[in-house]
Amino acid sequence: MKFGTYFAYWEQEWDADYPYYCDKVARLGFDILELGAGALVGLSDSELSRVKSAARDAGISLTGCIGLPAAFDVSSADKSVRDNGLDLLRRILTAMSKIDATVLGGIIYAYWPVDYGKPVDKPSVRARAIESMLSIADFARENGVLLVLETVNRFEHFLINTSEEAVQLVKDIGHPNVKVMLDCFHMNIEEDFLGDAIRTAGKYLGHFHIGECNRKVPGKGHMPWEEMGYALRDINYGGGVVMEPFVKMGGTVGSDIKVWHDLSGGADEKKMDEDIAEALRFVRSKFA
């Protein structure tokens, strides 16, 4: 396993000075920096080159994550919206290839967060999601990027809430470049036992997000870390384990993730660095 973290732990917007974070996470002991994939399409080739060089010099790998906005919903009944979404994914994947990023995860099969003010037609949405993922999977593979479909809780989307649903969707897509992405924050809401959910994913698990049930860094809540560690070893998981803590209010990140009170205890950047470095040591002790 390789261990990483999402840049947005420190940020209030979905973009940032990625070269800065390449150096930071490497110094903190991580193997992977996960980026906001949507922001990559706004970077010039020279800026993408800076990100690639920074990651190479720091000795870390890069991955990306996005919840597609509604205007780019690849499961939409409106073909023009689906086409917009697929075009955005192609631009993201092209940018990722330029920085040697290897995994694109999140709600890339629909849009996020879902609008429950609209009718839910799960079978139709599912069918269109499969069609869209099949249409983009070869392009992703040609650009060296694995697609991983994130399983999220019922309040954020309805299409895949459990590991079992995610595995069946990936099987129905039937493309070797599409796998499952689990996130223990969402699993804590939807799954009976987190270890069993990991074992259900098994060979289909391509990426794993972690964090506490309260969105704090690992070790500051009551998630069953040893149970998850045993399960990951049982399935011989060798992919990325990426922390996704959100502890600060404010900005687009705080609003989208619904962080309405300070979960950091008033921490400054130095203290946040110390907290996540300690969380990394904690997770390695449970998983590795």
Cα angle 105, 165, 218 (rounded to 5 degrees) comes to 50
* 142 labelled catalytic: no
Is there a contact between 237 and 212 (Cβ–Cβ < 8 Å)? no
Domain count across the chain: 1
What tens digit of pLDDT does each residue of 144-182 get? 999 999 999 999 999 999 999 999 999 999 999 999 999
Instruction: Quote the pTM value.
Output: 0.97
Share above pLDDT 70 across residues of the chain, in percent, rounded to a whole number: 100
Catalytic residue, chosen from 34, 191, 212, 244, is 244
> How many whole angstroms separate alpha carbon 272 and alpha carbon 178?
34
Q: Which positions ≥6 away from 255 have C-beta within 8 Å? A: none
User: Phi/psi of residue 147, each to 5°?
Assistant: -95, 130
- Active-site annotation holder among 11, 34, 150, 191: 150
Asked if residue 288 has pLDDT above 90, the reply is no
CATH number for the domain spanning 33: value is: 3.20.20.150
Q: Look at residues 135, 153, 26 and name the one whose alpha carbon lies nearest to residue 74.
A: 135
Residue 244 annotated to the active site: yes
Q: Containing domain of residue 101, as a range? A: 2-287
The whole-number pLDDT of residue 80 equals: 98
Average pLDDT over residues 50-70: 98
Average pLDDT over residues 226-251: 97
Q: What is the mean pLDDT of residues 37-60?
A: 98
Q: Encode pLDDT of 92-115 as tens digits.
A: 999 999 999 999 999 999 999 999
